[in-house]
Amino acid sequence: MERILSKTKGDRWIWLIVILLSVVSLLAVYSSTGTLAYKQGKATEAILMKHLFMMIGGIGLMYISHKLDYRYYAGISKMLMIITIPLLLYTLVFGAHINNASRWIAIPGTGLSFQTSDMAKLALITYLARLLSRKQENIKDVKQSFVPIMGSVCIVFVLIAWANMSTALMLFGVSILLLIIGRISVKQIAVVCLAGGLLTMMVMFLGPRRHLYITRIHTFMHPEAVSSDKKFQGDHAKIAIASGGIFGKGPGNSTERNYLPEAFSDEIYAIIIEEYGLLGGVFLMGIYLFLLYRCIKIVTKAPKAFGALLAAGLSFSLTIQAFANMAVAVGLGPVTGVPLPLVSMGGTSILFTSVAFGIILSVSRHIDENEQKNKKVVVGQILEVA
């Protein structure tokens, strides 16, 4: 154990959070995939093992990401943006249609699919952190700073929103928070928000999924005026939460997993509350809040603007996504199709979430190493004086 701990650097609490979320994920996915296994003619254990291998792969990526000096991600972000935009365009035109949406690129010969929006989130956040940190000296300059920053945000937003509005809106919100932290003027931020609002309306009323967006919003705002089949998912999520009570039905005793269409992904929080009760739901919420708290501490200690912006953007992205998923499960928002980070069953979502954790830990590792160097310098000076 000591040997393993000696090779893992950075905030120990974040490593603990990752372990806790992984355990919760394994328990919840095993419990919620019974119906899926039956439909696919597989054993539940086979689906669980596939999920376990994906999580192990994610932890491996997180370990590699945290060992790499976070400053290298400035250069990597530029390459990611160059790759991401053509991939998003390709996805819209040639993407595999899953659940009536072109969000995935099928990997030939593997039977696997790749969700490009997961990569786009990581690419845009790291790229924004790079731009904002490098342009601090002339951050108020419209031509040199504001135009390239606004352009990158709006282009990625539109390309994601065309097929995945919920992910695009959350990414846009994270981008606005980064602009605020990066000292962009209030007027310029207002322009970005206005542009984002106009682009949202354009996609909602002109995009290929306009009927779905309008239906979901109408169902959420006026549930009494729509048929039961349109609010089926939301109703059964509420039933799961209500039947869980304070202490829950116990692990593996969920009944709503047989009705919820995405019990192992979008609605996994409802299944967790049904089995572990209100206490389990609050505990999971507390884990994400504690993650945000630890990340904010990293942001405040980061010696360079890029590290602070990088940790802030990635931590905001993870926690906003988590609370968006939980809000939908308890009926505080329309159905979005957003997974619960590191808990929901998934492929690329788990991998890119793990990389995001790794980058945050890389910033934390750099802070710890600087503090140790400073302590050695201080001790050396004291010894010289003595």
322 exposed, middle or buried (CB, 10 Å; 0-12, 13-18, 19+)? buried
Angstrom distances, CA of residue 252 to CA of 33, 47, 234, 243, 342: 10, 15, 21, 14, 20
DSSP state of 142: I
Average pLDDT over residues 301-329: 93
- What pLDDT score does 273 carry? 95
Q: What are the structure tokens assigned to 13, written together?
A: 């609490």
C-alpha to C-alpha distance for 168 and 154, rounded to whole angstroms: 10
Q: Which of 44, 49, 104 is nearest to 257 (CA)?
A: 44
User: 110 vs 302, which has greater pLDDT?
Assistant: 302
Res. 374 pLDDT band, cuts 50 70 90? confident
- Which amino acid makes up residue 278? L
- What pLDDT score does 105 carry? 76
309 exposed, middle or buried (CB, 10 Å; 0-12, 13-18, 19+)? buried
Tell me what percent of the residues of the chain surpass a pLDDT of 70.
Answer: 89
Q: Which of 322, 288, 381, 298 is nearest to 20 (CA)?
A: 288
Residue 1 pLDDT exceeds 60: no
Q: What's the pTM?
A: 0.91
Query: What is the number of other CB atoms lying within 10 angstroms of the CB of residue 183?
Result: 12
How far does Cα 304 stand from its chain's mean position?
24
- Which amino acid makes up residue 2? E
Average pLDDT over residues 335-352: 87
- What pLDDT score does 285 carry? 96
Furthest C-alpha separation in the chain: 82
Give domain limits for the chain.
2-385
Residue 100 pLDDT exceeds 60: no
**Residue-by-residue DSSP string for 101-133:** EEEEEEETTTTEEEEHHHHHHHHHHHHHHHHHH
pLDDT tens digit sequence for 176-216:
999 998 888 888 888 888 988 888 888 887 777 777 777 77
Angstrom distances, CA of residue 249 to CA of 61, 96, 254: 35, 38, 7
Contact (Cβ atoms closer than 8 angstroms) between residue 233 and residue 261:
yes
Q: What are the structure tokens assigned to 316, written together?
A: 């905001």
pLDDT tens digit sequence for 221-276:
877 777 766 778 888 888 999 999 999 999 988 888 888 887 888 889 999 999 99
β-strand pairing of 96-98 with 101-107: antiparallel
Alpha helices by DSSP H, listed for the chain, are 2-7, 12-32, 34-40, 44-67, 72-94, 116-134, 147-161, 165-181, 186-206, 210-221, 232-244, 268-301, 305-329, 348-385
Q: What are the structure tokens assigned to 207, written together?
A: 């995009």
Query: What is the number of other CB atoms lying within 10 angstroms of the CB of residue 29?
Result: 26
C-alpha to C-alpha distance for 204 and 268, rounded to whole angstroms: 27
Q: Which of 318, 296, 251 is nearest to 31 (CA)?
A: 251
Q: Is 111 left (phi over 0), alpha (psi -120 to 50) or beta?
A: left
C-alpha to C-alpha distance for 196 and 183, rounded to whole angstroms: 19
Contact (Cβ atoms closer than 8 angstroms) between residue 275 and residue 29:
no
- The whole-chain average pLDDT of the chain stands at 85
